[in-house]
Amino acid sequence: MAAPTSTEPQPAPRLSPAQRIERLVVTTALLGLALTGLPQRFAGESWARTLIVLGGGIESMRILHRFFAILLIAEAIYHVLALGYRQFVYGQRPVMFPGIRDWRSLVMQIGENLGLKRAGDTPPNYHFALKLEYLVILLGVIVLGVTGLMLWNPIDTTTLLPGETIPVVHSVHSDHALFTAAAVFLLRLGIVFLWRPRRAEIFAESAGEQVPLSPAQTAARRRRFLPAALALAGAAVVALVLFLTSEQTAIDTVPRQRAVIFAPQVMPESGDPNIGAVLWETMRCAFCHGPQAEGGPRGGPSLRRPDLTFEAFYRQVRVGRGDMPAFTHEELPDGYLTHLWAWLNQPEA
């Protein structure tokens, strides 16, 4: 006599604790980058100024933006190693990359929504939506990570690339950040409220596709993989720390000391206006002097005046006067001043 078939519902597949932690870290990093980056992108808007004030000022927003960037980079390094671990140790292919079947499902679903195709007999699972979101985030991390690191150290970058590269990189970074934020927001709305696919189901379906290995084979692969992964992770962290700390940036703040400092042998003609334009956007000067240094709404004077000499500009920055604070060499190196001066003296487009 055959055993009775159980009619109890099977438990839905769930993500592992490590995968849930990864989702939390990615969500936190992306939200933090959006909340600290968008106000900088639209600094002239009232809502952006409100967020900047709530965030503790423009310098605090930039520091927070870099913190979330480092968090996302660290997650990316871990994610690459986790993918390699599942691929090498367990023989499991990367399941979140969209394949031909996913693109076919997307095209068919669009056709059904437009009435160009007849609906199928089985309801769609919309797994392609999660994979498309993964692809958007992956491309965003790569593009924003590379361009963000170049903007982090613009002077080091221009030792290898022309100065004109910095404005292009800044534009790519800003525009792709807007695209990534909009795409993820729209996809997430559809995933949560319309399609509701389950990420765990994708991993559960792929479990049967991995290469069958014995426990001994898995243990041997793990012993070979872990030392190599630790070495690669250590090398990546060391290289990242060396790059991020190789250049003194204007974001650092130190206690200000007012003192008369005479200008050394600074050559203003050595500045690059392209670098100066990027540096201007990374400092708080625009709040008083305007986004193009043409004068601010709060009465800040224009810095694009024919009667303003480099000596007077240098002394004003170093000594300060009235509402204008003084900036030390640690906060604003002489090299940065030459780039800013070149930008201020460049004819406006």
CATH number of residue 296's parent domain: 1.10.760.10
Rg of the chain's alpha carbons, rounded to an integer? 27
Would you say residue 169 has pLDDT above 80? yes
Q: How far is CA 80 from the centre of its chain?
A: 17
pLDDT at 2: 45
Cα–Cα distance between 337 and 341 in angstroms, integer? 6
pLDDT at 147: 93
pLDDT in tens, 318-340: 888 878 888 888 788 888 888 89
Report if residue 50 sits inside a domain: yes
Considering only 21-35, 155-169, 206-220, 274-288, which range has the smallest mean pLDDT? Answer: 206-220
* Higher pLDDT, residue 153 or 147: 147
Closest CA to 146 of 165, 123, 169: 169
Report if residue 103 sits inside a domain: yes
75: which 2 tokens?
């997650």
Residues 155 and 301 in one domain: no
pLDDT in tens, 237-269: 999 888 888 766 544 445 555 554 555 567 778
pLDDT at 7: 46
- The domain boundary, picked from 210, 244, 278, lies at 244
Report if residue 259 sits inside a domain: no
Residues 147 and 96 in one domain: yes
Report if residue 70 sits inside a domain: yes
Which pLDDT band holds residue 9 (cuts at 50, 70, 90)? Answer: very low
Report if residue 106 sits inside a domain: yes
Residues 231 and 287 in one domain: no
Counting the structural domains of the chain, the total is 2
Report if residue 249 sits inside a domain: no
pLDDT at 255: 54
Kindly report the backbone phi and psi dihedral angles of residue 74, in degrees, each rounded to the nearest multiple of 5, phi listed first. -60, -40
Residues 174 and 289 in one domain: no
Which pLDDT band holds residue 297 (cuts at 50, 70, 90)? Answer: confident
What percent of the chain has pLDDT above 90? 26
Kindly report the backbone phi and psi dihedral angles of residue 72, in degrees, each rounded to the nearest multiple of 5, phi listed first. -70, -40
Residues 24 and 72 in one domain: yes
pLDDT at 193: 76
pLDDT at 234: 94
pLDDT at 317: 87
261 near 328, Cβ under 8 Å? no
* Higher pLDDT, residue 124 or 233: 233
pLDDT in tens, 33-80: 999 999 988 888 889 889 988 988 888 898 999 999 999 999 999 999
Residues 38 and 128 in one domain: yes
Residues 87 and 214 in one domain: yes
pLDDT at 10: 47
Residues 234 and 307 in one domain: no
Residues 321 and 179 in one domain: no
Taken in order 14, 18, 21, 23, is the CA torsion positive or negative? Answer: negative
pTM, 2 dp: 0.63
Q: Which domain holds residue 310?
A: 268-344
Report if residue 116 sits inside a domain: yes
Residues 220 and 285 in one domain: no
CATH number of the domain encompassing residue 47: 1.20.950.20
Report if residue 258 sits inside a domain: no
Residues 280 and 187 in one domain: no
Which pLDDT band holds residue 140 (cuts at 50, 70, 90)? Answer: very high
Would you say residue 81 has pLDDT above 90? yes
pLDDT at 227: 94
3-state secondary structure the chain: CCCCCCCCCCCCCCCCHHHHHHHHHHHHHHHHHHHHHHHHHCCCCHHHHHHHHHCCCHHHHHHHHHHHHHHHHHHHHHHHHHHHHHHHHHCCCCCCCCCHHHHHHHHHHHHHHCCCCCCCCCCCCCHHHHHHHHHHHHHHHHHHHHHHHHHHCHHHHHCCCCCCHHHHHHHHHHHHHHHHHHHHHHHHHHHHHHHCCCHHHHHHHHHHHCCCCCHHHHHHHHHHHHHHHHHHHHHHHHHHHHHHCCCCCCCCCCCCCCCCCCCCCCCHHHCCHHHHHHHHHCCCCHHHHCCCCCCCCCCCCCCCCCCCCHHHHHHHHHHCECCECCCCCCCCCHHHHHHHHHHHCCCCC
| Helices 127-152 & 165-190 angle (0-180, nearest 10) | 160
Residues 187 and 275 in one domain: no
